[in-house]
Amino acid sequence: MCKKTFLIGLLLFFTYSYGFAANKDISESHQSAKTVDIINQVSKNMDQNNIRSEQVITVCRKDATIRQYRLRIMTSNGDKAFAEIIEPKQFKGRQFLRLGDTVWAYFPDLARLQSRSESRTKTAIRISGREAFMGGDFTNNDILRLNLISDYTSELIEDLPDQYVLKLEGKDLKLTYSKLRLWVRKNDFQPIRMECYTISDELIKSVFYQDYRDFGGGLTRPGMLEVKSAILPKSKTFLEIIYLKRGVKNPAHRFQRSNLGK
């Protein structure tokens, strides 16, 4: 049952813990200069490129059960992300690797069942970025994808006294969320809330950014995210960033499929 739940439940840290790419400025000609500036500023605050982080995901299900997972996350060059569960003991050592648009998962218990002569890469399973991570309200892309904002065209739809409201539409039908709506604080361009929609404008989930923290090195960003499902209103997931450092040159071997499990 645990194995089945895990396979179905394969999220964010990181990061995308809903992290927004800042490796490339958004400069589409049909977007206003003001909108481009807002998106670029938010992206810089939430940039997850070349980071090392520890994050805790707490999954609260509708049956009142609570599950918690602690992850170690590394990213590299805007298109690679590695995550490993370090707690609880039951799931320790399970690893996830994103290379471009492909996500791989490694299961230590499955590896032990393989014969010693079999290649370790055979125990790495390709999974969908749209699947729920560990049965929560994040998807694998939410945890590992690095270019959420740069995958969308944006439009400023409300200019309120203390915040901006942006509408974002996906450039690719393969994206997990076809449309987004993003609320941003005016004074520091920190995200406040994000709503995720289907192509037919049905709300999938809402993300609330909380507990803005100084992580050092001039980095201030939300330290806690709360995700509420519109489909399962009694369930919600929290993601807390325990540690985060940017500008890290993570070891290259961590982003090779053949090294999963090592």
Looking at residue 149, its pLDDT comes to 63
Looking at residue 13, its pLDDT comes to 42
Q: Give pLDDT tens digits for 2-19.
A: 343 333 333 334 334 545
Residue among 250, 247, 190, 204 nearest 20 (CA): 190
Q: Does residue 131 carry a pLDDT above 80?
A: no
Q: Look up residue 48 and give its amino acid.
A: Q
Report the chain's terminal Cα–Cα distance, integer Å: 26
Q: Give pLDDT tens digits for 74-89.
A: 999 878 999 999 999 9
If you average pLDDT over residues 137-149, what whole number do you get? 51
Looking at residue 114, its pLDDT comes to 54
The CA-based diameter of the chain, rounded to the nearest angstrom, is 65
Evaluate whether 207 touches 227 at the Cβ level (below 8 Å): yes
Q: Provide the CATH topology of domain 2-259.
A: outer membrane lipoprotein receptor (LolB), chain A (2.50.20)
Q: Give pLDDT tens digits for 46-65.
A: 888 899 999 999 988 888 89
Q: Does residue 21 carry a pLDDT above 60?
A: no
Q: Quote the CA–CA distance of 139 and 204 in Å, as a whole number.
A: 12
Residue 29: CB atoms within 10 Å: 5
Task: Enter the DSSP assignment of 252.
Answer: G
Q: Look up residue 172 and give its amino acid.
A: D
Q: Does residue 127 carry a pLDDT above 60?
A: yes
Residue among 248, 215, 217, 220 nearest 76 (CA): 248
Q: Does residue 153 carry a pLDDT above 50?
A: yes
Name the token pair of 13.
Answer: 């840290």
Q: Give pLDDT tens digits for 182-199.
A: 999 999 999 999 999 999
Q: Where are the alpha helices (DSSP H) in the chain?
A: 2-9, 33-46, 108-113, 140-144
pTM of the complete model: 0.81
* Of 62 and 258, the one with more pLDDT: 258
**In the predicted model, what is the mean pLDDT of the chain?**
80
Query: What is the percent of the chain where pLDDT is above 90?
Result: 46
159 pLDDT band (50/70/90 cuts)?
A: very high
Task: Enter the DSSP assignment of 26.
Answer: -
Peptide bond between residue 251 and the one before it cis (omega within 30 degrees of 0):
no
